[in-house]
């Protein structure tokens, strides 16, 4: 049996959801054929076929024997929906059972191991776009309370801000990590550098970007970084970057695809832009995601161990977690 790639299935799922949410695609749209998708993603056609089958079981894709794969007529852009057919979910449940964690207890165990305490992060990055984007992702995906400053702003302060002094962890970029570690070393706060997903602009996004494509940013320094990043990727060189407050955003065509950074969303407020505005994109790499999850879980497990009557309430859970 061909085992589908979770990354491929998730990539296709998120592409469809993004396109439905933005209005760029509609239910009933024909998707690339299995051979076209296999060539584009550089995978075996059987892997694409299996990924399409999984999405069909989820109700997101409709497979027609003679004409191929289509976005299902009943498809809705619900990001939180999780299908029981997804291998990662079955793997998670099976792994819990092998570690003596009963399935009926697993939901509460997962909640307590990530939300017994609310961790606070302080984000430091070279640009406002990076700071605000990371803050949003830390809150939305990892459950952190998150504040932050640009590196330039932080270095200009006479003393460290109270929010940084009270933070559980400092999150920064790879280019700023050495400076940030020097800043927080005297107060003993851990500091980690996060990286961006390598597939942030890949084949799946390119299918969305067959129309004129614009990225709207706040900080001109981020514009420079972004142009360098895009120039290194042949498929992304036609993307145009506009800066809020400097460029005329009214020049964006009605048929454009538009990505707006978090800081730009905040600055624009209720102002409407032309084109199909894509929803926020998850930015962090798998390695960075695991590092953040590890920090969160370890801190929560430590808090759980310190709770009164912990040994009476769930002695088997702490044993499983320690393995």
Q: Which of 295, 301, 296 is nearest to 314 (CA)?
A: 301
Q: Where are the alpha helices (DSSP H) in the chain?
A: 6-22, 34-41, 45-57, 87-98, 103-115, 128-142, 151-156, 162-165, 177-184, 203-208, 220-231, 262-268, 286-305, 310-313, 315-322
Distances (CA, A) of 242 to 219, 226, 290: 10, 11, 33
CB-based contact 159:136 (threshold 8 Å): no
* Alpha-carbon radius of gyration of the chain: 22
Q: Which residue has the tokens 């107060």?
A: 187
Handedness of CA 52, 55, 57, 62 (dihedral sign): negative
d(CA 228, CA 126): 15
Q: Do domains 6-89 and 116-196+285-322 have the same CATH topology?
A: no
d(CA 233, CA 230): 5
pLDDT tens for residues 4-45?
Answer: 445 688 888 877 887 777 666 778 889 989 998 888 788 899
List the structure tokens of 165.
């002094």
Whether residue 79 has pLDDT greater than 90: no
Domain borders along the chain are: 6-89, 116-196+285-322, 206-277
Q: Where are the alpha helices (DSSP H) in 24-158?
A: 34-41, 45-57, 87-98, 103-115, 128-142, 151-156
List the structure tokens of 229.
């990043």
Distances (CA, A) of 38 to 6, 191, 244: 15, 40, 39
pTM: 0.75
Residue 284 DSSP label = B
Mean pLDDT over residues 291-309, rounded? Answer: 90
pLDDT at position 130: 96
Whether residue 58 has pLDDT greater than 70: yes
pLDDT tens for residues 191-224?
Answer: 999 998 876 765 556 665 667 889 999 999 999 9
Q: Within 10 Å of residue 103's Cβ, how many Cβ atoms?
A: 10
Mean pLDDT over residues 95-118, rounded? Answer: 91
Domain 116-196+285-322, what fold?
Answer: Rossmann fold (3.40.50)
Does 6-89 carry CATH code 1.10.10.10? yes
pLDDT tens for residues 254-292?
Answer: 988 899 999 999 999 989 999 888 888 888 999 999 999
Tell me the average pLDDT of the chain: 85
- Which residues, including other chains, have CB under 8 Å from residue 187's CB and lie 6 or more apart? 160, 165
CB-based contact 103:48 (threshold 8 Å): no
């Amino acid at each position: 049996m061909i085992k589908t790639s979770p990354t491929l299935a998730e990539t296709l799922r998120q592409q469809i959801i993004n396109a439905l949410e933005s209005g760029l695609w509609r239910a009933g749209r024909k998707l690339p054929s299995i051979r076209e998708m296999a060539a584009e993603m550089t995978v075996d056609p059987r892997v694409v076929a299996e990924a399409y089958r999984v999405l069909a079981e989820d109700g997101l894709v409709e497979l027609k024997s003679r004409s191929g794969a289509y976005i299902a007529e009943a498809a809705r852009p619900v990001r939180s929906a999780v299908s029981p057919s997804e291998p990662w979910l079955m793997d998670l449940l099976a792994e819990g059972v092998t570690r003596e964690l009963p399935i009926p207890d697993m939901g509460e165990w997962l909640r307590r191991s990530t939300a017994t305490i609310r961790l606070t992060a302080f984000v430091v990055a070279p640009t406002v776009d990076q700071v605000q984007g990371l803050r949003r992702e830390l809150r939305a995906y990892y459950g952190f309370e998150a504040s932050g400053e640009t590196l330039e702003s932080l270095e200009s302060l006479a003393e460290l801000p109270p929010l940084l002094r009270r933070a559980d962890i400092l999150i920064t970029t790879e280019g700023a990590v050495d400076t940030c570690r020097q800043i927080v070393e005297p107060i003993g706060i851990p500091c980690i550098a996060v990286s961006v997903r390598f597939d942030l602009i890949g084949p799946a996004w390119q299918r969305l970007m067959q129309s004129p494509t614009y990225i709207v940013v706040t900080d001109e320094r981020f514009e420079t970084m972004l142009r360098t990043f895009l120039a290194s990727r042949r498929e992304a060189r036609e993307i145009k970057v506009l800066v809020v407050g400097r460029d005329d955003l009214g020049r964006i065509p009605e048929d454009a695809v538009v990505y707006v950074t978090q800081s730009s969303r905040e600055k624009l407020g209720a102002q409407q832009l032309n084109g199909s505005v894509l929803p926020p994109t998850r930015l962090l790499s798998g390695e960075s995601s695991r590092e953040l999850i590890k920090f969160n879980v370890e801190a929560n497990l430590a808090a759980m161990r310190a709770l009164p009557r912990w040994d009476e309430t769930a002695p088997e859970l702490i044993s499983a977690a320690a393995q």
